[in-house]
Amino acid sequence: MSDSGDGMEPADEAASADADAAAGDVSALARGGALNLAGAVVSSVGAFALYVVLARGLGRGAAGAFVESIAIFQILAITAALGADTGLVWAISRSLARHRAADVRRFIAVAVVPVAAAGAVVAGAIWVWAADLATLFGGEDHREAIASTLRVFTVVVPVAALYHVLLGGTRGFSTMVPTVFVDRFARPFVQPVAVGVILAAGGSATVLALGWSLPFVIGLVAATAYLTRLVRRSMRRGAATDNEPVRSVRVLAGRFWRFTLPRSVASIFRVGVQWIDVLLVGAIMSPADAALYGYGTRLLQFGLFVAVSVGQVAQPMFGGLLAAQQRDRARSVYQTATGWQVAITWPQYIVAAFFGALLLRTIFGGAYVEAAPVVAILALSTMVGAAAGPVDMLLLMAGKSTWSLWNTGATLATNVGLNIVLIPRYGIVGAAISWSISRLLANALPLLQVARHVGLHPFGRGVGLASTGSAAIFGALGLAAWLIDDKSGWVFLAYVVVAGAGYVVFLRRYREELDLSHAWQAFRRKRKRVRVPSTHT
């Protein structure tokens, strides 16, 4: 018997410590996940509102031209960010886990200066080639509107790049508060309001672009203030715990950019996969067809936001746990996050697949019903992707940013090649098929790499239960409702209510297996900050 006061054997004490650590990981994931889920809901509503305002306030061609301008902006802003948002998550989370808070401020400096320079270069390129890009993607009818919008973005792209990087820096402190409140709540609310007011007042394309861009300027100020506060707090705590000599900026810059530069190219490839199909549809077909395709993808927005949100919460946890060689705890976080991601997103994807036409007509108008096949194809492929969980985040936090680069490069090449072949033959359905195949590849490659070289996989019991339950309840009832009448709003409403109630019962029945009990307890505590649990047992 042990001499300890509670009479526990050493093996029992170790098992109890492991269980407590695992429960702490789930609680931390849940606290950040609950906040991020709320952010995903608001972001989805905001994205829908923006596209509804554009659909109702502009013709399909003009709406498509504006969506194409947004696609170009997103690609260029992520290009200018150089992958430094993920680089800061990696660098800051590892520095704090190893009690090197003094390195944090230097890491931020070595990230921000090159991003600001890259933003200036990209802005100059936009100004020079705005007319050529507008001609390529807008044709004669929409060339001037796209060119005017892109010239406004000349000023905003550097701001947006720094905005993304500094918000990434705040996530390195294992808090989702700035990202959720600034990027999930404020920006998606302000953008549709500003665009709606400008359209109601008859504003030009230039003014419309200014209204859409303004939240990035405000967001940069907020992100800077949040990050400054977090850095100061870490420095005060680090003064008592740091026990390593301060490293030079040159050494830290070398480490940071060796990790981040492959991620930079990978980020460009990844955002290219997200938007290149919209641009290729516009270039090969027309901006009106680009609007049709782009609006079809909006029905999947909530699920995609959830996937990003779960990954952002898990990312610093992966970084800290892997840095401390806590592989079993990292596996538990990965499998729990994947199970929750499937449980939340699969019902929405199934509903969209069955009733895409009804939803498109109701939300955007009859002109967009033709995109229903696109919705169905993309919904099925994103269901498969959700089952992989935040696999790329795990691969990155394991230090394999070069592997991620090759994966995303292969994905983008596949996407572009298939689009060039399939869009002329099958139109927007060909674009959907291309995107789906490339996304399946994007998940399969890191899954194999993480399983083989890191020794982790997402397929725990929670994933099996979540996928089986959502498919059985929403899938079976959805098929029945679709066969009865896929155009009736009453049938749709009855289906959603009955399936939703049944799914709630299912989740309650299997709450322990899905780790929902820990999630609920963490949510009730209403802690505002998500922290990576101690990596020392």
The arithmetic mean of pLDDT across residues 238-258, rounded, is: 71
Cβ-contact 68, 210 below 8 angstroms: no
State residue 282 phi and psi, 5-degree precision. -65, -40
Task: Tell me: pLDDT of 390 over 70.
Answer: yes
- pTM across the whole model: 0.75
Binned at pLDDT 50, 70 and 90, residue 7 comes out as low
Task: Tell me: pLDDT of 514 over 50.
Answer: yes
Q: Which pLDDT belongs to residue 216?
A: 93
* Residue 280 identity (one-letter amino acid): L
The arithmetic mean of pLDDT across residues 442-452, rounded, is: 89
State residue 376 phi and psi, 5-degree precision. -65, -45
How is 52-119 classified by DSSP, letter by letter? HHHHHHS-HHHHHHHHHHHHHHHHHHHHHHTTHHHHHHHHHHHHHHTT-THHHHHHHHHHHHHHHHHH
| Alpha helices per DSSP H over 387-488 | 391-397, 401-426, 428-449, 461-470, 476-485
For the stretch 320-335, pLDDT in tens is 777 777 778 888 888 8
Binned at pLDDT 50, 70 and 90, residue 94 comes out as confident
Binned at pLDDT 50, 70 and 90, residue 26 comes out as low
The whole-chain average pLDDT of the chain stands at 82
The arithmetic mean of pLDDT across residues 358-374, rounded, is: 87
For the stretch 95-127, pLDDT in tens is 887 777 778 888 898 999 999 999 999 999 989
- How far is the C-alpha of 265 from the C-alpha of 409, rounded, in Å? 8
Distance set, CA 28 to CA 185, 267, 331 (Å): 21, 27, 15
Please, what is the Cα angle at 168 between 164 and 173, to 5 degrees?
A: 155
The arithmetic mean of pLDDT across residues 292-301, rounded, is: 82
Task: Tell me: pLDDT of 146 over 90.
Answer: no
Residue 456, phi-psi category: left (phi > 0), alpha (psi -120 to 50), beta (remainder): beta
C-alpha 227, offset from chain centre = 20
Taking every pair of Cα atoms in the chain, the longest distance, rounded to a whole number of angstroms, is 85
- How far is the C-alpha of 517 from the C-alpha of 511, rounded, in Å? 6
* Residue 253 identity (one-letter amino acid): A
How is 215-263 classified by DSSP, letter by letter? HHHHHHHHHHHHHHHHHHHHHHHHHHH--SPPPPHHHHHHHHHHHHHHH
Cβ-contact 386, 342 below 8 angstroms: yes
Q: Which pLDDT belongs to residue 163?
A: 95
Task: Tell me: pLDDT of 536 over 70.
Answer: no
Distance set, CA 22 to CA 33, 475, 503, 534 (Å): 16, 33, 26, 11
- How far is the C-alpha of 60 from the C-alpha of 152, rounded, in Å? 22
For the stretch 165-186, pLDDT in tens is 999 999 888 787 888 888 888 8
User: Which tokens in the block code for residue 464?
Assistant: 């099996």
Q: Which pLDDT belongs to residue 51?
A: 84
pLDDT above 90 coverage of the chain, percent: 25
The residue among 83 and 9 whose pLDDT is bigger is 83
Binned at pLDDT 50, 70 and 90, residue 518 comes out as low
The arithmetic mean of pLDDT across residues 5-24, rounded, is: 51
The arithmetic mean of pLDDT across residues 443-470, rounded, is: 87
Q: Which pLDDT belongs to residue 15?
A: 47
Binned at pLDDT 50, 70 and 90, residue 9 comes out as low
SS3 string, 334-364, reads: HHHHHHHHHHHHHHHHHHHHHHHHHHHHHHC
Task: Tell me: pLDDT of 141 over 90.
Answer: no
Binned at pLDDT 50, 70 and 90, residue 526 comes out as very low
Task: Tell me: pLDDT of 537 over 60.
Answer: no
Q: Could you say which DSSP state residue 510 is in?
A: T
The arithmetic mean of pLDDT across residues 49-61, rounded, is: 83
Tally of residues, the chain: 537
The count of C-alpha atoms lying within 13 angstroms of the C-alpha of 194, restricted to the half-sphere facing its C-beta, is: 17
Binned at pLDDT 50, 70 and 90, residue 231 comes out as confident
Cβ-contact 163, 220 below 8 angstroms: yes
Distance set, CA 249 to CA 82, 107, 173, 486, 501 (Å): 19, 8, 20, 61, 56
* Residue 42 identity (one-letter amino acid): V
The arithmetic mean of pLDDT across residues 399-421, rounded, is: 87
Q: Which pLDDT belongs to residue 287?
A: 86
The residue among 533 and 370 whose pLDDT is bigger is 370
Binned at pLDDT 50, 70 and 90, residue 535 comes out as very low
Indicate if the alpha-carbon torsion angle 180, 182, 183, 186 is positive or negative: positive
For the stretch 457-503, pLDDT in tens is 888 888 889 999 999 999 999 999 999 888 888 999 999 999 999 99
The residue among 464 and 526 whose pLDDT is bigger is 464
Q: Which pLDDT belongs to residue 529?
A: 43
- How far is the C-alpha of 210 from the C-alpha of 198, rounded, in Å? 10
Instruction: Determine the angle formed by the axes of helices 10-57 and 301-323, rounding to 10 degrees.
Output: 150
Binned at pLDDT 50, 70 and 90, residue 527 comes out as very low
- Cα distance between the two ends of the chain: 22
Binned at pLDDT 50, 70 and 90, residue 246 comes out as low
Task: Tell me: pLDDT of 528 over 50.
Answer: no
Residue 138, phi-psi category: left (phi > 0), alpha (psi -120 to 50), beta (remainder): alpha
Q: Which pLDDT belongs to residue 480?
A: 93
Binned at pLDDT 50, 70 and 90, residue 534 comes out as very low
- How far is the C-alpha of 229 from the C-alpha of 47, rounded, in Å? 30
User: Which tokens in the block code for residue 194?
Assistant: 């500003």
The arithmetic mean of pLDDT across residues 35-42, rounded, is: 73
